[in-house]
């Protein structure tokens, strides 16, 4: 069994060796965590998307340049960059506001999501709840809800359901397919 830190170190080595697949693996491995870190602090979806992209751009640049001093702690390195970029985003917004405070005609975009963003978020949440409620399998509902909404760890879900990690991958894949089918049928119904 591979220790998490050693797999991180191996991933760093592969990226430094120029392996493009390793770069994709890094993004896939840390995408969820980076999204959570950013999402906890930033309400504006477009600003959050910018910070997300910048996080992985910087991480890859630093890994390629050999600036990761402790490759076995790659997860902490990635999270640290994401947190720093979130803080910098808010500092930059505060500096801009200070600079133009004396100009009463100057309009600043609110760091809060727009009314449209709020409406779309509520609609997506309502649709997700509806699709979950229409899933025929209680296990599908539980596994999707716990993994994607409660953000529960895969290991915890596997232990509670009495399944292996490999079986979990198959179960959640099939559950997502059934979810997608219902989601698309509801979407088609709304268009009519």
Domains belonging to the chain, first-starting first, are 4-99 (1.10.1740.10), 115-191 (1.10.10.10)
CA distance 38 to 52: 7
- Cα four-point dihedral sign 74, 75, 76, 81: positive
pLDDT tens by residue, 75-109: 899 999 999 999 999 888 888 777 766 655 556 56
CA distance 135 to 116: 29
pLDDT tens by residue, 172-189: 999 999 999 988 888 776
- Cα four-point dihedral sign 146, 150, 152, 156: negative
CA distance 175 to 169: 10
Residues in the chain: 192
């Amino acid at each position: 069994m591979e220790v998490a830190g050693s797999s991180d170190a191996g991933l760093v080595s592969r990226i430094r060796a120029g392996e493009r697949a390793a770069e994709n693996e890094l993004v896939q491995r840390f995408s969820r965590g980076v999204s959570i870190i950013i999402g906890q602090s930033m309400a504006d979806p477009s600003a959050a998307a910018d910070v997300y992209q910048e996080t992985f751009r910087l991480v890859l640049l630093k890994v390629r340049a050999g600036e990761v001093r402790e490759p076995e702690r790659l997860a902490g390195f990635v999270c640290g960059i994401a947190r720093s970029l979130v803080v910098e985003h808010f500092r930059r917004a505060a500096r801009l506001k200070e600079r133009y405070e004396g100009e009463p005609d100057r309009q600043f975009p609110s760091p809060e999501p727009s009314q449209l963003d709020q409406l779309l978020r509520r609609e997506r949440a309502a649709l997700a709840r509806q699709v979950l409620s229409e899933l025929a399998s209680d296990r599908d509902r539980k596994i999707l809800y716990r993994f994607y909404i409660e953000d529960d760890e895969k290991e915890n879900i596997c232990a509670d359901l009495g399944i292996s990690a490999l079986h979990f991958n198959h179960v959640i894949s099939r559950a997502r397919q059934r979810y997608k089918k219902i989601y698309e049928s509801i979407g088609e119904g709304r268009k009519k």
